[in-house]
Amino acid sequence: DTGVSQDPRHKITKRGQNVTFRCDPISEHNRLYWYRQTLGQGPEFLTYFQNEAQLEKSRLLSDRFSAERPKGSFSTLEIQRTEQGDSAMYLCASSLTGLAGAFGEQYFGPGTRLTVT
């Protein structure tokens, strides 16, 4: 299967600990997105990368959150000093978007479910 993969699938951590999630996009896709989804809600945009450049961050992404995409391949999302309010499903998506600005179809991974106790 060459879809989007995420690791780990589930993470339980104690408040105040740091956590890191990984996303591997579809290989030829140049854009990578992170979204957060809480129970009963739709996903909310956090940030996105065009190749290795992080081009936009949502106001939802506090200073405790950092994301990287070295070499324009896989991406990591780190949350420092986790809080109970960080408990959510963290979704990664990727798309192939041309320079003409066409809106590429976004394909999602299975998500990482974070539980902060």
DSSP track, 64-83: TEEEE-GGGS-EEEEESS--
Would you state the structure tokens that stand for residue 87, as one six-digit string? 């408990």
Question: Looking at 11-19, 68-76, 79-87, 93-101, which segment touches other proteins (CB under 8 A)?
Answer: 93-101
Q: What is the rounded end-to-end Cα distance, in angstroms, of the chain?
A: 34
Candidates 11-19, 43-51, 64-72, 73-81: pick the segment binding other proteins (CB under 8 A): 43-51
- Contacts with 43 (C-beta within 8 Å, 6 or more apart), sequence order: 35, 36, 37, 91
Measured between alpha carbons, how far is 46 from 50 in angstroms, rounded to an integer?
Answer: 14
10, containing H or E segment: strand 10-13
Contact characters 59-88, other proteins, x per CB under 8 A:
------------------------------
Interface stretch with other proteins, choices 13-21, 63-71, 77-85, 96-104 (CB under 8 A): 96-104
Q: Is the CB of 109 or the CB of 116 nearer to other proteins? A: 109
**Residues between 45 and 64 that touch other proteins (CB under 8 A):** 45, 48, 55-56
Q: Residue numbers of the site for other proteins (CB under 8 A)?
A: 4, 6, 31, 33, 35, 40-45, 48, 55-56, 89, 91, 95, 97, 101, 103-111, 113
